[in-house]
Amino acid sequence: MILLAAMAGFLVLALILRLPWMLVWAVLACLFVAGMLVHLTLPDGHVLRGAVGGDWRAWALPILAGVVVAAYRKLLGLLRARRHQPAPAPAGPFAAAELERYARHIVLREIGGAGQKKLKAARVLVVGAGGLGSPVLLYLAAAGVGTIAVIDDDHVSNSNLQRQIIHRDATIGRLKVQSAAEAMKALNPHVTVETYPERLDAARAADLVGRYDLVLDGSDNFDTRYLVNAACVAAGKPLVAAAITQWEGQIGLYHPAAGGPCLACVFPERPAEGLAPACAEAGVIAPLPGVMGAMMALEAIKAITGAGATLRGEILLFDGLWAETRKIRVERRADCHVCGVTAPGEGV
């Protein structure tokens, strides 16, 4: 019983001195092994066997009880730690915060988890960070489009803030692409924003458009619109384009590679001087770019996810002054100088 008394005394001393439990268990294990060796190797009646309890079972039972208690405490600690740990992020491409953010998309039958994955994987180019580009960029970022690129060489001015809602008074004088990128990242840090602070020309359009899945044109002049359209036709990319003036707007999705017309099929020539004045000349009601830009973002989301029916082969006309909308059918033209069978390098 001397060894058992030594073990009990050591345990009491360890509790008083607050010795590390790893050390305590190591010492007790050594003493236990020593006692068991005495019982297993020495004959019955030996003086040392009497000193350590006389019977090995006297050792086994308290040690077994100690092991059970230690295992119970360990299990209890693991359960408590698990209860207080945050839930692990779900497997897949979305973090837990993203699943909560996009929950209203995911519960939509037409979008769901599969559609949200398509949005996350999508690469979209937006031409212009002005009136139309502002709501487009904000809603694409909010919707979780994975990579959003914006090209614009203009700077924010005070007169922009009446309708270009992505910019702020504090960003006056800064590049629009920088102002827009900051707003998008502030809205949704889970998206990637690529900026091109430059004017689009033919060579740059051909280079950029091919890198993205979809292009949205929010430019405010016919030269850029025709340039973007030609680049999209050449690259086989869908184009969502809109235009606004005063109280009215129009929007369409142009995609000859999928059987629809291109922009030049519908507008083969620019309008005569004075028939389509710029907003700076004719004016524009503040919410109109928001209405049409939101429609552009909606068309982009449908085109990416496959939800519903897009405006391919149709143009939607919106009259904000009289609260009227109507759609007209448009067809691809065989003699289109951009996408038709007679166009240079085109074979349909």
Flag the least confident range among 19-33, 73-87, 133-147, 301-315.
73-87
Tell me if 348 is assigned to some domain. no
pLDDT at 87: 38
Q: Can you list the alpha helix ranges (DSSP code H) found in the chain?
A: 2-17, 21-41, 47-51, 56-84, 96-101, 103-106, 112-121, 133-143, 176-187, 202-209, 222-235, 263-266, 279-282, 287-305
Domain containing residue 37: 2-84
Tell me if 128 is assigned to some domain. yes
Q: In 10 A of CB 19, how many CB atoms? A: 14
pLDDT > 70: percent of the chain: 69
* Same domain as 69, residue 125: no
* Same domain as 73, residue 100: no
250-260 per-position pLDDT tens digit: 999 999 999 99
Mean of pLDDT over the chain = 84
pLDDT of 6 higher than 70? no
- CB neighbours of 11 closer than 8 A, spacing ≥ 6? 24, 28
* CATH number assigned to the domain comprising residue 238: 3.40.50.720
Tell me if 104 is assigned to some domain. yes
| Residue 346 pLDDT grade (very low, low, confident, very high; cuts 50, 70, 90) | very low
Domain boundary among 58, 84, 110: 84
**What's the total number of domains in the chain?**
2
Tell me if 26 is assigned to some domain. yes
* Same domain as 42, residue 144: no
* Same domain as 111, residue 45: no
| Residue 94 pLDDT grade (very low, low, confident, very high; cuts 50, 70, 90) | confident
255-297 per-position pLDDT tens digit: 999 999 999 999 998 877 666 667 667 789 999 999 999 999 9
* Same domain as 62, residue 109: no
Flag the least confident range among 33-47, 72-86, 169-183, 237-251.
72-86
Strands 239-245 and 324-329: unpaired
* Same domain as 134, residue 283: yes
Phi/psi of residue 194, each to 5°? -115, 130
* Same domain as 100, residue 10: no
Tell me if 199 is assigned to some domain. yes
* Same domain as 316, residue 182: yes
Contact 310, 302 (CB under 8 A): yes
* Same domain as 21, residue 103: no
* Same domain as 114, residue 71: no
Contact 133, 166 (CB under 8 A): yes
- CB neighbours of 93 closer than 8 A, spacing ≥ 6? 117, 120, 121
In this predicted model, which residue has the larger pLDDT, 4 or 295? 295
β-sheet bridge partners, residue 250: 243, 317
* Same domain as 33, residue 128: no
Cα–Cα distance, 182 to 161 (Å, whole number)? 16
Contact 287, 249 (CB under 8 A): no
pLDDT at 205: 94
Tell me if 338 is assigned to some domain. no
Distances (CA, A) of 334 to 244, 311, 346: 28, 20, 11
141-167 per-position pLDDT tens digit: 999 999 999 999 999 999 999 999 999
Domain boundary among 84, 107, 133: 84
Query: What's the rounded mean pLDDT across residues 331-343?
Result: 84
pLDDT of 89 higher than 50? no
Query: What's the rounded mean pLDDT across residues 183-197?
Result: 97
* Same domain as 234, residue 124: yes
Tell me if 179 is assigned to some domain. yes
Domain boundary among 84, 112, 136: 84
SS3 269: coil
Query: What's the rounded mean pLDDT across residues 82-107?
Result: 71
Cα–Cα distance, 144 to 300 (Å, whole number)? 12
Tell me if 67 is assigned to some domain. yes
pTM across the whole model: 0.71
What's the burial of 71, exposed, middle or buried (CB within 10 Å: 0-12/13-18/19+)?
exposed
